[in-house]
Amino acid sequence: DLPRPSISAEPGTVIPLGSHVTFVCRGPIGVQTFRLERERRSLYSDTEDVSQVSPFASEARFRIDSVSEGNAGPYRCIYYKDRKWSDQSDYLELLVKGEDVTWALPQSQLAPRACPQ
């Protein structure tokens, strides 16, 4: 049987609205395709851009450039190797954090500014 993949998120699982997150799916070497799945949806992304990260492991990275509320929820990985799909990884819950106080401000007012000397 194929070993189960693992999933992690960089920089973490709690992401401020509009920031980026990268899901990292990791499995054994020889993986042809990694798939990142969303729960309760037939939403998934496949990639064949698999890199070998050690003599025993390969990984693929899935980046979301600007996280919205719709990106929150559970994710998991599976991979395709030796003409079959692996079991799914554990779920990873992505939390998207909004700033209650600043959500109505135009984007330009949210940008950090240098203090005048």
Domain boundaries, the chain: 6-97
pTM: 0.81
- pLDDT tens by residue, the chain, 117 residues: 899 999 999 999 999 999 999 999 999 999 999 999 997 667 899 999 999 999 999 999 999 999 998 899 999 999 999 999 999 999 999 999 886 533 333 444 444 445 555
CB-CB contact of 92 with 85 (8 Å): no
CATH for the stretch 6-97 = 2.60.40.10
